[in-house]
């Protein structure tokens, strides 16, 4: 079983990325042939400063390794080190109906947020399909926001196979973990860099993390009154980090009343800080060892590129090249 997942270097990863994709993907490292990449071609749709892009790629590589990506088990590379993927993108573009891309909500959402429409932003799901199909991927761990794009990848694979020959491309399956499918941000919407509502895995300082947690949106129930735990973003975030007993304790305390939201936010802050502390320590070490990080990405690119070449040759041959 080949497992594939990617993440954009469009800023520092947040806990939505962590629970939606990174952690489930790393669990799968032990169950099959794991392929993880840093999607720098994708981030050209939003990051236009070359120095920033380079720095983001480096930071993200360190972040992912610090969080537990194991290069002994998983192949890890920078997307643009495997340029074969762009050739496959063009070939797949020619079997992709316009309507399929026009229905993608993520494009419409980004335009509504004021991002200038570009062909890259519109055609992004085809590049994503190529990312997946070029490695004969079976399983793709993603957050729920990527479900539609995964369906596009499946449709494109089936269209290609219909036109050029059954079983030429593997049709991938998304793997979405229901409990963490959509992690809410500080304002309760999906946690997302473009909504500016993120809690990063590695906030610069403890003080900054606390300041962010204190911004989690709540209602205005007075301190002494009982509070409803069921629609609290504090609890939705807390249950990602705390064990069942701790969550039950907080829920009971909500119902009993007598504590203000600030009290629960402090508990959430301390729990998040503790949770990422060992990864923070690993990150500090990795930051000082750029040769190791470069070596991992280089080795990963070699391995990924060999597999990509094999599938691309199969595809080129099938289409008549």
Q: Which residues bind ligand AQP (CB under 6 A)?
A: 7-8, 10, 16-17, 20-21, 46, 142-143, 145-146, 182-183, 190-194
Return the number of the residue (46 or 259) whose C-beta is nearest ligand AQP: 46
Handedness of CA 68, 71, 77, 82 (dihedral sign): negative
Query: What are the tokens at 259?
Result: 């504590």
Q: Nearest Cα to 17, choosing from 143, 194, 179? A: 143
Looking from the CA of 132 toward its CB, the CA atoms found within 13 Å total 30
- The question of whether 215 is a catalytic residue gets the answer no
Q: Nearest Cα to 28, choosing from 77, 70, 78, 82? A: 70
Please state, in angstroms and rounded to a whole number, the distance separating the CA atoms of residues 90 and 237: 41
Return the number of the residue (17 or 153) whose C-beta is nearest ligand AQP: 17
C-alpha triplet 85, 86, 89: angle, nearest 5°: 90
* Min CB(162)–ligand AQP separation in Å: 28
Query: What are the tokens at 181?
Result: 């499918």
Please state, in angstroms and rounded to a whole number, the distance separating the CA atoms of residues 308 and 319: 16
Return the number of the residue (179 or 220) whose C-beta is nearest ligand AQP: 179
* Min CB(80)–ligand AQP separation in Å: 15
Return the number of the residue (80 or 192) whose C-beta is nearest ligand AQP: 192
Marked catalytic residue, from 144, 190, 212, 265? 190
Those residues with Cβ within 8 angstroms of residue 37's Cβ, 6 or more apart along the chain or in another chain: 4, 5, 6, 7, 76, 77, 78, 79, 82, 131, 300, 304
Walk across the sheet containing 74-78 and list its strands: 74-78, 33-38, 2-7, 139-141, 173-175
Please give the residue whose beta carbon sits closest to ligand AQP in the complex: 20
* Min CB(277)–ligand AQP separation in Å: 22
- The question of whether 190 is a catalytic residue gets the answer yes
* Min CB(78)–ligand AQP separation in Å: 14
Marked catalytic residue, from 73, 108, 110, 215? 110
Please state, in angstroms and rounded to a whole number, the distance separating the CA atoms of residues 222 and 102: 47
Return the number of the residue (183 or 201) whose C-beta is nearest ligand AQP: 183
* Min CB(64)–ligand AQP separation in Å: 11
Return the number of the residue (16 or 125) whose C-beta is nearest ligand AQP: 16
Marked catalytic residue, from 193, 212, 227, 307? 193
* Min CB(169)–ligand AQP separation in Å: 21
- The question of whether 144 is a catalytic residue gets the answer no
Enzyme catalytic residues: 110, 190, 193
């Amino acid at each position: 079983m080949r497992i594939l997942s990617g993440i954009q270097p469009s800023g520092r990863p947040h806990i939505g990325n962590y629970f939606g994709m990174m952690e489930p993907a790393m669990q799968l490292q032990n169950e099959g042939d794991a392929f993880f990449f840093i999607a720098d071609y994708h981030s050209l749709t939003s990051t236009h400063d070359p120095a920033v892009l380079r720095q983001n790629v480096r930071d993200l590589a360190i972040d992912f390794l610090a969080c537990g990506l194991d290069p002994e088990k998983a192949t890890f590379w920078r997307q643009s080190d495997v340029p074969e993927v762009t050739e496959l993108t063009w070939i797949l573009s020619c079997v992709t109906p316009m309507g399929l891309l026009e229905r993608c909500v993520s494009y419409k959402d980004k335009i509504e947020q004021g991002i200038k429409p570009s062909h890259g932003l519109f055609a992004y799901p085809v590049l994503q399909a190529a990312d997946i199909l070029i490695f004969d991927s079976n399983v793709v761990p993603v957050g729920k926001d990527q479900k539609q794009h995964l369906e596009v990848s499946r449709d494109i694979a089936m269209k290609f196979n219909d036109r050029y020959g059954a079983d030429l491309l593997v049709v991938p399956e998304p793997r979405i973990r229901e409990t963490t499918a959509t992690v809410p941000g500080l304002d309760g919407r999906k946690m997302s860099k473009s909504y500016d509502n993120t809690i990063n895995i590695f906030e610069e300082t403890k003080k900054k993390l606390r300041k962010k947690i204190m911004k989690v949106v709540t209602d205005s129930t007075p301190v002494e009154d009982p509070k409803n735990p069921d629609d609290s973003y504090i609890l939705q975030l807390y249950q990602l980090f705390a064990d069942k007993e701790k969550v039950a304790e907080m829920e009971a305390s909500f119902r009993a009343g007598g504590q203000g939201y600030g009290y629960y936010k402090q508990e959430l802050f301390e729990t998040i800080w503790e949770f990422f502390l060992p990864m923070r320590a690993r990150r500090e070490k990795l930051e000082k060892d750029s040769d190791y990080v470069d070596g991992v990405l280089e080795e990963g690119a070699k391995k990924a590129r060999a597999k990509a070449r094999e599938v691309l040759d199969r595809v080129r041959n099938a289409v008549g090249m």
